[in-house]
Amino acid sequence: MPTVSDMPTAVHAPVGIFDSGLGGLSVLRHVRRLLPHEALIYAADSAFAPYGGKDEAAVLARTVAMADFLVAQGVKALVIACNTATAGAIVEIRRRYPTLPVVGVEPGLKPAALQTRTGMVGVLATERTLASRRFLALEAQIAESSGVRFIGQPCPGLADQVEKGELRSPATMELVRRFVGPLIAAGADALVLGCTHYPFLVAQIESAAREAGAASLAIIDTGDAVARQLGKVLAEQGLLSPPLPTPASIAAWTTGSASSLSTAMRKLLHLTIAAKRIAERPD
């Protein structure tokens, strides 16, 4: 395991962004927009995705392995761009790397509570996130302070559809309808995207909500808030990269297929990047 003293603190060092697979790209796009001078290394654990149906110990082990990989690449900060990994492992990652700034992703219950008019909010997330102590504590706290009711909707199979590049297939649409319909029927007028894969399905979610009779709908994605939090943490620690004449580099690594990650980055973000395979699976 790389030690903290090996970690460069240079402002030019890259920021590591990690997800179980492609979902973290929905966070990367916000980071790129807000902090274009930051060099980025994206790491997808696609060989082990999805995390959502795995047990706590497995998610923890995989998150540690991926964080170790990124630290070994010399990152100056780490974004855990995965709700499931944040819920299950951010405490351990911060313990393991006490001087490394670590930013996680959590379902946006607070902004949703501010936006709902019906007082009913649907939370689309993985089974693991919804069952986590971290999520349950957040839910209890925001429900009590706001009086809003949160309805958790596990979405098994949905992140997989994004992994397969099937954003608009009938099977994907069918799953989206199955998950969104009951939330709208229960009176939800705000839906929290509690998994970083789901922002790539916003149009499909909106359309399923309309079909289910939603008159107005707020969709809450925390990608922008995560990018802002990263900028704040980097600024506080004197780690912000100075402006560069050209956009900073983006590298991409995966435990799965490198060509699939390159294709996904081109299709989802219009970025042309030759992704590389993490040669030895980090566990």
- 241: tokens are 């990269």
Between CA 154 and CA 264 the distance in angstroms is 24
The answer to whether 195 contacts ligand DGL (rule: CB under 6 A) is yes
CA distance 42 to 174: 30
Q: CA 106 to CA 87: how far, in whole Å?
A: 7
Q: Does 66 bind ligand DGL (CB under 6 A)?
A: no
**Using the rule CB under 6 A, which residue among 84, 153, 222, 254 binds ligand DGL?**
84
The yes or no reply on residue 52 touching ligand DGL (CB under 6 A) is yes
Shorter beta-carbon distance to ligand DGL: residue 14 or 21: 21
d(CA 20, CA 83): 10
Distance between CA atoms of residues 93 and 78, nearest Å: 10
Quote the least distance from Cβ 20 to ligand DGL, whole Å: 3
Asked whether position 106 contacts ligand DGL by CB under 6 A, the answer is: no
155 is catalytic: no
Q: How far apart are CA 8 and CA 70, in angstroms?
A: 12
Map residue 218 onto helix, strand or coil.
Answer: strand
Q: How far apart, in Å, are the Cα atoms of 66 and each of 10, 72, 108, 172?
A: 22, 10, 24, 28
* Segment interacting with ligand DGL, rule: CB under 6 A, options 81-89, 141-149, 248-256, 263-271: 81-89
83-96 and 133-146 are packed helices; what angle lies between their axes, rounded to 10 degrees? 110
Please identify which residue in 29, 62, 110, 197 interacts with ligand DGL, judged by CB under 6 A: 197
Question: Is 82 labeled as catalytic in the residue annotation?
Answer: yes
Stretch touching ligand DGL by CB under 6 A, among 191-199, 240-248, 251-259, 269-277: 191-199
Q: Within positions 8 to 37, which residues make up the interface with ligand DGL, using CB under 6 A?
A: 19-21, 23
Catalytic residue among 17, 82, 175, 176: 82
Catalytic entry in 90, 195, 220, 239: 195
- C-beta of 20 vs 153, nearer to ligand DGL: 20
Q: Which is nearer to ligand DGL, 13 or 64 (CB)?
A: 64
Is 159 near ligand DGL (CB under 6 A)?
Answer: yes
Residue 153 touches ligand DGL, criterion: CB under 6 A:
no
Q: Site residues for ligand DGL, window 200-259 (CB under 6 A)?
A: none
Burial class (CB in 10 A: 0-12, 13-18, 19+), 203: exposed
- Using DSSP bridges, classify how beta strands 190-193 and 250-254 pair: parallel, antiparallel or unpaired: unpaired
Q: Which spans of this chain sit near ligand DGL (rule: CB under 6 A)?
A: 19-21, 23, 49-52, 82-84, 126, 129, 159, 195-197
Q: Which residues are catalytic?
A: 82, 195
